[in-house]
Amino acid sequence: MKYLRYIIFLMVLIIPIKVNAKITFDCNPKTINPGKTVACRIESDYAVSSFKSVLTLDPKVYYDGKVDGAGFNGSYLNTTKTLTFTSSSGGYFIGTVNIYVPSENYKSDANFNITFSGIEYTLSSQPGNTITQSNSTFLISVKIPQTTTKSTTTTTKANVGTAKQFQVILDPNGGSGGQIILPPCETTGKSCKVTLNKVQTPTKSGFTFNGWGTKTDCTEGNKTSYDATANTTLYACWVVEKTNTTTTTSSGSVIGNETLYLNELIIEGQEIAFSKFKYDYDLMVLYEVETLNITATAVKQGVVVTVSENAKALVLGENTIIISLADTEGNKNTYQIKVTRLNEGEEIHELSSDANLKALSISGYQINFSPQTVKYFVSINPGVSSLAIFTEAAFPAATVEITGNENLKAGSIIKITVTAEDKITTNTYEIEIAVKSLMDLYSMYIYAGGGVVLLLLIVIVLKKRSGKKPKTPKPPKGSVAPKPGAEKAPLSAQPKPLGPPPGVKPADPKSQVEVLDV
């Protein structure tokens, strides 16, 4: 019991005890375009078994559901706008509240607030103790994107001397092998050249590789080099493999499969990147365009080419025009053009191929984000099943999709796929997950506790040695030990030596006669 206080003190140092938790809120993005969603992540720095808060929103935005945390259930926003989360096991990640910003309510730049008030929660370690916390308010800015048109083009000279890097990724586009991330090219101008002829050529059954292009449906591309002006994903271009099969016509002439290819495809007043190996096309026309004058001819004579009648009467929205080819032996082939006729007043703008991220952050974790870096590593605590990931595309009209962000474990990979406005160009960012061990989590406490234990042991040993009494030597054998209490009497109690009788002068020692025995 003597060293009980030392033991208690040691346990306090070694065992990390938290008597209170803090609820944190993190709403992202802080700047948003209309039609997008703000995600507010609710998290605790200690296990919480219940949580409640009143959510106050601007009337122009809407509550758009939630994502429960690990072990939590029954979270909802009721008629009193009170969020409640409960859990039987407790957890750190409480949930995510999604706030939708409708386009119809915002026609110009504006701001709105998201407020969490009446915050109450219960720790898993203190089930009977309800804790309150002050309000949290977030200001979100709504930014109206600017529309760019094809008719106005401004060329800006790059700042000479400012170095920048562009990352190019090669996608096999259904062929063999996986994505190839080429070394970044660096330039002080507006573009840099990436070498392609040293890259292993992918293969695909039934198709012939025909270079690298910027679209998934490309049939012709670059085989030697590519001039990069931004982070880009290039796709393998495939054409149908030619066969040696032939067909004999009724007239006796021999023709090959190539007779079912178009030699040219011209649409009056419109631009289209034609290739005889490309069967599907997309075209956008103004409201004023009601008909299309299409010229299509086959590679060889004897093939009948037919254009569907709806090319002469376009409706608003989507129109699908079919161009059919048929030879005399009954063989057929088709090309397809998807034509979008815009509403009155709408303008055609060049679709952006920018598929990069402008921002990437993870709540509670620090990453050094760069748009040119597509691979990241994050080490999470045991029990964390998902991450609060916030992204912002470099081009507002691009879309971002996050996959793999659930049931996280060591080796899990979260993929963030950015699809450009053109719906063809994509870019993928990856976050690889590692899980911290108990040694990683408590190493500081273990080392500190071990040092304290060692120090206490040294103090205790030194204290024992300094207060130790010397041992009493044992008496020699045969001697009689003094009886207890038989201590030496004081001088005052000892018998005085005998002297001369009273009145008799003591003899002078010099006059004394020594008597010798004879």
Output the domain CATH number for residue 410.
Answer: 2.60.40.2340
Report residue 98 as tokens: 């999604």
Residues 371 and 398: their CA atoms lie apart, in Å, by 14
Report residue 22 as tokens: 């803090």
**In terms of Cα–Cα distance, which of 360, 314, 306 is closest to 338?**
314
Q: Are 91 and 21 in contact (CB under 8 A)?
A: no
Q: The domain that contains 214 carries what CATH number?
A: 2.60.40
Contacts of residue 441, Cβ cutoff 8 Å, sequence gap at least 6? 381, 382
Helices 4-14 and 438-466: angle between axes, nearest 10 degrees? 160
**In terms of Cα–Cα distance, which of 62, 25, 37, 26 is closest to 142?**
37
Residue 238 pLDDT: 87
Residue 289 pLDDT: 93
Verify that 141 and 28 share a domain, yes or no: yes
Strand 136-142 vs strand 72-77: parallel, antiparallel, or unpaired? unpaired
Residue recorded with tokens 């890259």: 199
Residue 200 pLDDT: 83
* Residue 308 included in any domain: yes
Contacts 24+ apart (CB under 8 A), 298-306: 298/259, 298/260, 298/261, 298/262, 298/263, 298/325, 299/258, 299/259, 299/261, 299/262, 299/263, 300/255, 300/258, 300/259, 302/249, 302/255, 302/259, 302/327, 302/328, 303/259, 303/260, 303/327, 305/262
Report residue 41 as tokens: 């992540």
Angle at 112 between CA 107 and CA 118, to 5 degrees: 155
* Residue 506 included in any domain: no
Verify that 29 and 92 share a domain, yes or no: yes
Residues 73 and 338: their CA atoms lie apart, in Å, by 46
SS3 324: strand
Verify that 335 and 386 share a domain, yes or no: no
Phi-psi map region of 351: left, alpha, beta (phi>0 left; psi -120 to 50 alpha) = beta
Residue 265 pLDDT: 93
Residue 294 pLDDT: 94
Residue 280 pLDDT: 86
CA–CA distances in Å: residue 350 to residues 285, 288, 421, 473: 12, 18, 9, 107
* Residue 9 included in any domain: no
Verify that 100 and 32 share a domain, yes or no: yes
Verify that 51 and 117 share a domain, yes or no: yes
Q: Are 435 and 379 in contact (CB under 8 A)?
A: yes
CB atoms within 10 A of CB 343: 9
Verify that 193 and 279 share a domain, yes or no: no
Residue 252 pLDDT: 35
Verify that 33 and 139 share a domain, yes or no: yes
* Residue 491 included in any domain: no
Verify that 229 and 185 share a domain, yes or no: yes
SS3 127: coil
DSSP 365: B
Residue 465 dihedral angles phi and psi, to the nearest 5°: -70, -40
Residue 470 pLDDT: 59
- Residue where a domain stops, chosen among 341, 365, 392: 341
Verify that 231 and 295 share a domain, yes or no: no
Domain interval for residue 182: 164-240
Residue-wise pLDDT tens for the chain (518 aa)? 455 565 555 555 555 444 456 788 888 888 888 888 888 878 877 778 788 888 888 888 877 665 555 455 555 554 456 777 776 556 666 777 778 888 878 878 888 888 888 888 888 777 778 888 888 888 888 888 765 444 433 333 434 456 778 888 898 888 887 788 888 888 887 888 888 888 888 888 878 888 898 888 888 888 888 888 888 889 999 887 754 444 443 333 334 445 688 999 999 999 888 888 888 888 999 999 999 999 999 988 889 999 999 999 999 999 999 999 998 888 888 999 999 999 988 888 777 888 899 999 999 888 889 888 888 989 898 888 999 999 999 998 899 999 999 999 988 999 999 998 877 788 899 999 988 876 655 655 666 667 777 888 888 878 777 765 655 566 665 555 555 555 555 555 555 555 556 655 555 555 454 544 44
Report residue 343 as tokens: 């509403």
Verify that 33 and 141 share a domain, yes or no: yes
